């Protein structure tokens, strides 16, 4: 038996997902859907599948639907899939507004279907190391999480990119909703905690897009008492990132640098030092965000469908992340802290 998959949205990110699905011997891509007919046909041909004009035309043939469209379209496709009784994989963010994310999560849960979101950072070696060292208690109680990452992204040079939905006025949602979702999810996952208060400032280098942001500085207070800082930019000429935790008995972090935009996600090394260590321990990672994390999350999704289990991350994680992203934007707009219920 193989899990039959239809891919909706055949843009850039669909390349990694397509390869990951092809590498899983329990998955089979049987169809593709895209508003660009030529792209859908080319994707289908590459993967030995068939292209369709709409999801409604082919949803009955599938076991699962991969929704890789821009986020403003994800709810409509997710609902078609869920109402047809199909499992759903959505790229991040789950939607643009929390209400849409909640609707997807509730619909899937009520029908006993899997709705997974593409927080592939959870499946990368360095962040799994970070999660495990916190969970082991080796660092003692953790009182701070940080995520600093800078690189050149959409609108970074101040210009609208006509061929990129991220700076399309009808589709864009800004960095805080789209890309900070990874940082927020890592924070929630690594700390096993939820956000209480958000204080933030966001900024856009693109004057022509008033509802678009590509820089954010965020201070978060967590329910268990820890704090977190997220400092991110899509307008840095140097790519660099660092994510880590401070505990009462030790410190651990993942960092990386690389030429160009890849430095935002490149993980070069994992560092840890506790009271029991004479010297800092360093592990080289060589994790440049290739297809491996997409393969790992795909395997998790397909295994969950076949075994009746739950994947590591689900639509409710996407919803909670959206709530925090919206609180960040609200805090910046009001110039005051925002408390989450």
pLDDT digits (tens, 9 = 90+) for 92-106: 999 999 999 999 999
315 — pLDDT class (breaks 50, 70, 90)? very high
Residue written as tokens 């959206």?
Answer: 322
- The answer on 85 and 174 residing in a single domain is no
- The answer on 253 and 144 residing in a single domain is yes
Q: With a cut of 80, say whether residue 86 has pLDDT above it.
A: yes
Provide, rounded to the nearest whole percent, the portion of the chain with pLDDT above 70. 98
- The answer on 111 and 39 residing in a single domain is yes
Please state, in angstroms and rounded to a whole number, the distance separating the CA atoms of residues 148 and 186.
12
Please state, in angstroms and rounded to a whole number, the distance separating the CA atoms of residues 106 and 68.
20
Give the pLDDT confidence score for residue 155 in this predicted structure: 78
- The answer on 64 and 206 residing in a single domain is no
Q: Which domain holds residue 43?
A: 3-119+294-313
* 20: nearest Cα among 83, 85, 91: 91
CATH number reported for the structural domain that contains residue 334 in this entry: 3.30.360.10
- The answer on 173 and 78 residing in a single domain is no
Q: With a cut of 60, say whether residue 259 has pLDDT above it.
A: no
CATH number reported for the structural domain that contains residue 52 in this entry: 3.40.50.720
* 1: nearest Cα among 332, 336, 303: 303
262 — pLDDT class (breaks 50, 70, 90)? low
- The answer on 151 and 92 residing in a single domain is no
Q: With a cut of 60, say whether residue 260 has pLDDT above it.
A: no
8 A C-beta contact, residue 66 and residue 47: no
Give the pLDDT confidence score for residue 153 in this predicted structure: 84
- The answer on 64 and 47 residing in a single domain is yes
Tally of domains within the chain:
2
The order of strands in the sheet holding 142-152 is: 281-287, 267-274, 250-258, 235-247, 142-152, 227-233, 215-222, 195-203, 338-339
- The answer on 126 and 225 residing in a single domain is yes
The rounded Cα 178 to chain-centroid distance in angstroms is: 8
Please state, in angstroms and rounded to a whole number, the distance separating the CA atoms of residues 256 and 221.
26
Residue written as tokens 């992340």?
Answer: 321
Please state, in angstroms and rounded to a whole number, the distance separating the CA atoms of residues 17 and 301.
12
- Least confident stretch, 39-43, 209-213, 268-272: 209-213
Segment 266-288 shows an average pLDDT of 93
- The answer on 103 and 186 residing in a single domain is no
- The answer on 155 and 221 residing in a single domain is yes
- For every residue of 76-95, DSSP letters joined together read HHHHHHHHTT-EEEEPSSS-
* 7: nearest Cα among 45, 36, 35, 40: 40
- The answer on 334 and 200 residing in a single domain is yes
Q: With a cut of 80, say whether residue 144 has pLDDT above it.
A: yes
Please state, in angstroms and rounded to a whole number, the distance separating the CA atoms of residues 49 and 23.
15
Q: With a cut of 80, say whether residue 172 has pLDDT above it.
A: no
Segment 205-222 shows an average pLDDT of 92
- The answer on 44 and 80 residing in a single domain is yes
Q: Give the largest Cα separation in the chain, rounded.
A: 63
Q: With a cut of 60, say whether residue 132 has pLDDT above it.
A: yes
Mean pLDDT of the chain: 94
Segment 286-301 shows an average pLDDT of 91
């Amino acid at each position: 038996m193989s899990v039959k998959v239809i891919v909706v949205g055949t843009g850039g990110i669909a390349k990694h997902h397509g390869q990951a699905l092809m590498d899983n011997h329990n998955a089979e891509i049987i169809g593709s859907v895209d508003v660009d007919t030529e792209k859908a046909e080319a994707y289908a041909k590459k993967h030995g599948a068939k292209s369709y004009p709409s999801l409604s035309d082919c949803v009955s043939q599938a076991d699962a639907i991969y929704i890789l469209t821009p986020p403003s379209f994800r709810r409509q496709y997710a609902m078609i899939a869920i109402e047809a009784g199909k499992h759903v994989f959505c790229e991040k963010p789950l939607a643009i507004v929390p209400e849409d994310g909640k609707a997807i999560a509730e619909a899937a849960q009520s029908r006993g279907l899997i709705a997974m979101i593409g927080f592939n950072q959870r499946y990368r070696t360095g962040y799994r190391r970070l999660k495990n060292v916190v969970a082991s208690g080796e660092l003692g109680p953790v009182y701070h999480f940080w995520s600093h990452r800078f690189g050149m992204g959409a609108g970074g040079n101040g210009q609208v990119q006509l061929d990129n939905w991220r700076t399309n006025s009808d589709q864009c949602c800004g960095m805080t909703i789209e890309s900070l979702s990874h940082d927020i999810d890592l924070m929630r996952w690594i700390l096993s905690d939820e956000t209480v208060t958000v204080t933030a400032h966001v900024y856009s280098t693109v004057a022509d897009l008033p509802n678009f942001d590509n820089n954010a500085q965020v201070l978060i207070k967590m329910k268990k008492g820890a704090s977190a800082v997220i400092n991110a930019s899509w307008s840095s000429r140097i790519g660099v990132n660092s994510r880590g935790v401070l505990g009462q008995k030790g410190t651990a972090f993942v960092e990386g640098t690389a030429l160009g935009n890849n430095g935002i996600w490149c993980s070069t090394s994992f560092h840890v030092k506790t009271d029991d260590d004479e010297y800092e321990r360093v592990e080289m990672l060589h994790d440049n965000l290739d297809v491996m994390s997409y393969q790992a999350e795909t395997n998790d999704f397909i295994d969950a469908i076949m075994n009746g289990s739950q994947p590591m991350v689900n639509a409710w994680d996407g919803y909670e992340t959206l709530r925090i992203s919206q609180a960040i934007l609200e805090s910046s707009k009001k110039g005051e802290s925002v408390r989450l219920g």
